[in-house]
Amino acid sequence: MDQKKLESLSPALRKLIVEGETAPSSNKTITEDVLSSAHHVSEYAMRTLRHCNGGATLQAALWLKNHLAAGGKLMITISGALSSFQVGVMLAELIRKDKVHIVSATGANHEESYYRYVAHSHYAYIPRYTELTPEQEAELRDTGLRRITDTFLPEDESVRILEPHLVKMWQDAQAKGERYFPHEYFRRLFENGLISCDAAGNPNDSWVYAAWQKNVPIVVPGFEDSTMGNIFASYTYDGKYRKDRSVVLDQNIMKTGLEYFTSLYDWYMETAKNYPVAFLQLGGGIAADFPICVVPSLKHDLQLHGEVRDWAGFIEIGSSPMSYGSYSGAGGKEKITWDKLSTQSYYQIIQSDATAVFPWIAAVLLDL
């Protein structure tokens, strides 16, 4: 963390901040770390996750394990700020072990995995974040500390490091009349050796790095709803409020959400032709609502009724309670009425925090 920023804070606020990692990881993969010890997490899960949300977690994990063992495929969707909260520690290993076959992520989650990759040692934490006053929040803002729940995203060491590389790619695409998806531009950061992993970080903890290595498809719905999406939008704006017009980009160099969706038509039909596909939703929102609709759209919009295999199973880990107007908290059974799920699809809702539940599921799938 930037010491000048830290020292500029009031003493009371400075005392609340924790620098560095709360649980440092080695350079090993998660599998190597756990199997080198005498403990076996999945065995412990079998013994202890018996009832309520714990039982639902184990049941979902065992169903997914059997689904994958039988040759099934898995889509994982990630929302919220899970990449800032290091979901990559588990997700990257699942990708490396061929247990995840496509990822749908919000623009924020997608980019935040890159930010973790380049700036891991610059992150800091504030465990008692619920006790902050509005005045303290404003103080953090004015110091340049961007809070995501208990985590500070180091903007200068992450966003501003990636931005010039991506702007150059966008300019080159415009000059050549080319168009790419958001994640394709980002992947060139790895392909062209433009970024390196933070010295205190572990590249094995980056799910976007693992997905690039394994060429796992990524879908980023609503890219504009992210920091880099906002930045891209600013470069395409040439209205009266723009002061610097040295770089003005054409919006069309970025492929759209509609094109992501139609690419899912092809991916799903080609994959489901031979394998049942399951859906694991971490959190709510567009990351999940977008891709789950591919099945009803194939059936009803493309009129492929009898040719479309239903989702084999749907598992959601979410903390949003069911309420009027809260789509993120809608129950899985509601999806049957929209033909997103069938009565034959395996179904499990786990009302909890994905940061607490997903590690258990990953441990069972990885035989840890």
The whole-number pLDDT of residue 24 equals 47
Q: How many CA atoms lie within 13 A of 25 on its CB side?
A: 21
Residue 258, amino acid: L
Each residue's pLDDT tens digit, 251-286: 999 999 999 999 999 999 999 999 999 999 998 889
Element (H, E) at 77: strand 73-78
What are the residue ranges of helices labelled H in the chain? 3-7, 11-14, 30-35, 41-48, 52-69, 88-96, 107-119, 134-143, 159-176, 182-191, 207-214, 227-236, 257-272, 286-292, 294-296, 334-337, 354-365
- CA dist., res. 178 & res. 167, Å (int): 14
pLDDT per residue as tens digits for the range 110-156:
999 999 999 999 999 999 999 999 999 999 999 888 999 999 999 99
Q: Which fold has domain 3-365?
A: Deoxyhypusine Synthase (3.40.910)
pLDDT of residue 321: 66
Q: What pLDDT, on the 0 to 100 scale, is given for residue 29?
A: 73
DSSP string, 182-218: HHHHHHHHHHTT-----TTS-GGG-HHHHHHHHT--E
Q: What is the DSSP letter of 352?
A: S
Q: How far apart are CA 279 and CA 294, in angstroms?
A: 12
Contact present, 186 and 115 (Cβ < 8 Å): no
* DSSP line for 245-269: -S----GGGB--HHHHHHHHHHHHH
DSSP letter at 129?
G
Angle made by CA atoms 30, 74, 104, in degrees to the nearest 5: 85
Strand ordering across the sheet containing 73-78: 218-219, 102-105, 73-78, 277-282, 313-318, 346-351
CA atoms within 13 A on the CB side of 105: 26
Supply 191's token pair. 């392909």
Q: Which helix (H) or strand (E) holds 152?
A: strand 151-153
Could you tell me the residue ranges of all domains in the chain?
3-365
What DSSP designation does 309 have?
P
Query: Is the distance from CB of 64 to CB of 313 less than 8 angstroms?
Result: yes
| Residues 6+ positions from 96 with CB-CB distance below 8 Å | 29, 204, 210, 213, 214
Q: Find where tokens 């999406």 sit.
A: 229
**Strand, coil or helix: what is 139?**
helix
Give mean pLDDT in consecutive 10-residue pieces for the chain, a chain of 368 residues.
Answer: 85 85 59 62 85 92 96 96 93 97 97 96 93 95 91 94 98 98 98 96 96 98 96 95 90 98 98 96 91 96 95 88 60 82 90 92 93
CA–CA dist 368, 362 (Å, integer): 9
Strand partners, 152: 124, 147
Nearest to 105 by CA among 337, 267, 232, 288: 288
- How many whole angstroms separate alpha carbon 27 and alpha carbon 36? 13
